[in-house]
Structure 1
Amino acid sequence: MVNCTFCAIVAGETPSHRVYEDERAVAFLDTRPLFPGHVLVVPRRHAETLTDLPDSDVGPFFGRVQRITGAVERAMEAAGSFVAANNRVSQSVPHFHVHVVPRNRKDGLRGFFWPRGRYTDDAHAEDVAARLRAALED
């Protein structure tokens, strides 16, 4: 993809601190990490979002994310990790990527402040569930 920062990293045209690469994925340190060891895992083949990633690549790609997550936790002696991806909204580079961030209790990361709510009633919840089931049939 022309002018894609992550495609340039995958191709070796832009320097990065790679921690893993194979035929499916490339993982490298985030240049602005939340904590040392914050890794970005990207599919080698350009896909802007998770929904653009071919079905045949999803399982193998997330297998790499799983392996890298374990390595980040071990290498950084972390108690756990934060694993996340954005789809369009808040996605700073339009090439699908997964953040793997080492975490420890009281590390200062406050997480997301999402306003939580409730459905108006069971009928409202069932209406939303029906809409989602219908979208899955498309």
Structure 2
Amino acid sequence: MARLLAIDYGSKRSGIAVTDPLQIIATALDTVPTHELRTFLKKYTSQEQVEAFIIGMPKKMDNTDSENAARVQAFIKLIQKDFPEIPVHTHDERFTSSMALQSMISAGSRKSDRREKGNIDKVSATIILQSFMESRGNARNFSSQ
């Protein structure tokens, strides 16, 4: 099997999370400056087999697209052009940043680590991936860095 790769897309930086090859565990991978994201994905997919990209879709409370949704849609078109053989799925990312912060607090991470936005982005991507896996019924465990 190949990995699933999730992206919490942001205007400045994007969090990345992946599954193990058996797609059992979602794990935070990295935070990448958004302008370098396509290069990062090309390098990663040359080294690891990726079954699908899962992109967090920003939604408002009424389930309509947020202001950032247009940027995410534009990014999706770019990676579909770069990786035509890899399907792209979107997944609701509402509340992932607050859930990421709460999970870091629960895990006992230091305040300085929680202030580092890149850490929250990685954990948010992991939550998006975990939620996607649960919606497909194949999530058994959860792990993050």
Give the TM-score of the pair, scaled to structure 2.
0.30
